[in-house]
Amino acid sequence: MSAQLAFIICTEPGRLEAQSLMLAESIRKFCGKLKDTPIYSFHPRVGEPIAIETRKAFEELGVIHQQIPINQEFHDYYLANKPLVCAYAEKNIDAEILVFLDSDKCFFSEPEEFLLPEGCNVRMRPEYGQGIGSMGANDPNEWYWQKLYEICGVKQEKFVNTPIGNKKIRAYWNSGLVAVRRSAGIFTAWKENFEKVMHLNINPPQGIYFVEQSLLSVTLCALEEDVSHFSYAYSYPLPLHNRLIKEVRLKNWNEFVSVHYFNLFYYDDWNSQIKKLSNLNKNSEKYTWLCEAVIRHKMPRTSVMHRHMLTVRKVEQKLRAFNLNINLSSWMERVANL
| Through-space distance between the first and last CA atoms of the chain, rounded to whole angstroms | 50
3-state secondary structure of 184: helix
Is the CA virtual torsion 174, 179, 183, 188 positive or negative? positive
Angle formed by the axes of helices 81-92 and 211-222, to 10°?
50
> What domains can you pick out in the chain, each with its CATH number?
3-229 (3.90.550.10), 304-336 (no CATH)
Closest C-alpha among 104, 107, 30, 109 to residue 299: 104
What phi, psi does 242 have (nearest 5°)? -70, -20
So what's the pLDDT on residue 331? 67
Burial 253-284 (b: 16+ CB within 10 A, else e): beebbbbbbbebbbbeebeeebeeeeebeeeb
pLDDT of residue 324: 73
CA distance readout (Å), 257 to 105, 114, 232, 237: 10, 11, 9, 12
- The CA–CA distances, whole Å, from 104 to 163, 202, 238, 316, 323 equal 19, 27, 11, 27, 36
Task: Give per-residue pLDDT as tens, 231-290.
Answer: 999 999 999 999 999 999 999 999 999 999 999 999 999 999 999 999 998 899 999 999
Model confidence pLDDT, tens digit, residues 186-217 = 999 999 999 999 999 999 988 898 999 999 99
